Amino acid sequence: MAEIRLQKCLVSPARLAFFLLLSIALSGPATLLSAGPKPAPPRFGSRYNGNGQITNPRQVVTEGQPKPTTTLYLKATLSPADELPPVINADSSGVADAAIQLVATTDYAGDVLKATANFSVAFCQFPVNEQLIGVEFHRAPAGQAGPVVFDPGLAPVVMLAASCLPLPQEAGPKLLEVPPDLAQQIIADSSAFYVEMHTDLNPQGAARGQLLTLRAERLANFNAELLPANEVPPVTDRDAAGSGTVNMILILTQLSGANYTGEIEFHLSLTDFRRKDYLLSVEFGRAAASQSGPAVLHVLFTNPMRMKGGAADIRVIMVAVPYETVQQIYNDPSNFYFQIKTDFTPDGAARGQIQRGGPNP
């Protein structure tokens, strides 16, 4: 009896009622707690409190949800001088740039599941009628030879671009399937790979360059209306009837590491100039309208270009420009002008202030 009295002393009527309710809740039908099945705990480490609530909802993964994608823009400047050993025959004057847009689909841990690449290569100043017989990706740092890890499968191309202006010759673009493991390695460290082109004159390698990942890329469109009347002083000779437009893209990029680069691509259309004019050069000048200023970029045509019937249509791509210059034009385009110079009016045949907007060149 003493023992029974001890239990009665420890368990008060209020506590006894609580235990009875708890017993009913634990042993009663499931509908007392939930109208449906208890949700399964989420994956990937989200905290789950047992009542269908998730304390870290950003980590929840729903079946059928689109997988993340990673897009990288890569480039390689191919030089015959970077070959091992350097190329010293007729290919030594060649210039080439490879451009790659890599799109990778990954799982939520960042592992690549599928990857594609849009690949193209532009080249010029190689011997005319030589053949580009292949382009390959290799694994090795600069100054070392390495194995082929990927072949885009470009068909042989007859090389005709003796000059880089008005535009280099291009092979591609071509959409390619990239092995996921290779894409993973390129994303991790693109500089561990190089691109190499092969010609019939140098089948072992005509030019090569390390892959660089372009970071913090900024693209912006600009344009200018070119008129002889905008020159300082205005043009009044036979070029006075001419006019033109230029559409351009300014590209600001940070390469892997702390290296920066600027580039400008432009499309120039001219009409109604003197029928026998030759286009000598184009310039970007720093000055407001109606003022003359210093040239910050000068594009000289090695072979002056004949303006047939007083007209010309020219596209110049991938002109390397000091990063600071492109940054200044980007920030304040109205303080810069675009100018053309002809043999008949070598001090300036037409110019126009740069302004934002316009179509792609």
47/141: higher pLDDT: 141
* 308-324: pLDDT as tens digits: 889 998 888 656 678 88
Is the overall model pTM greater than 0.75, yes or no?
Answer: no
The whole-number average pLDDT for the span 162-173 is 74
For the record, the structure tokens of 323 come out as 């990063």
CB 161 within 8 A of CB 169: yes
Place of tokens 């390129």: 186
Give the model's pLDDT for residue 264: 86
**Residue 54 to residue 144: CA distance in whole angstroms:** 52
**What single DSSP character describes residue 35?**
S
Sequence-separated (6 or more) residues with CB below 8 Å from residue 120: 98, 99, 170, 171, 172, 173, 174
Q: What is the residue-averaged pLDDT of the chain?
A: 79
Share of the chain above pLDDT 90, in %: 47
The matching CATH number, chosen from 2.40.50, 2.60.40, 2.115.10, 3.30.920, for 215-356 is 2.60.40
The residue ranges of every structural domain in the chain are 69-210, 215-356
* 204-222: pLDDT as tens digits: 999 999 998 876 567 789 9
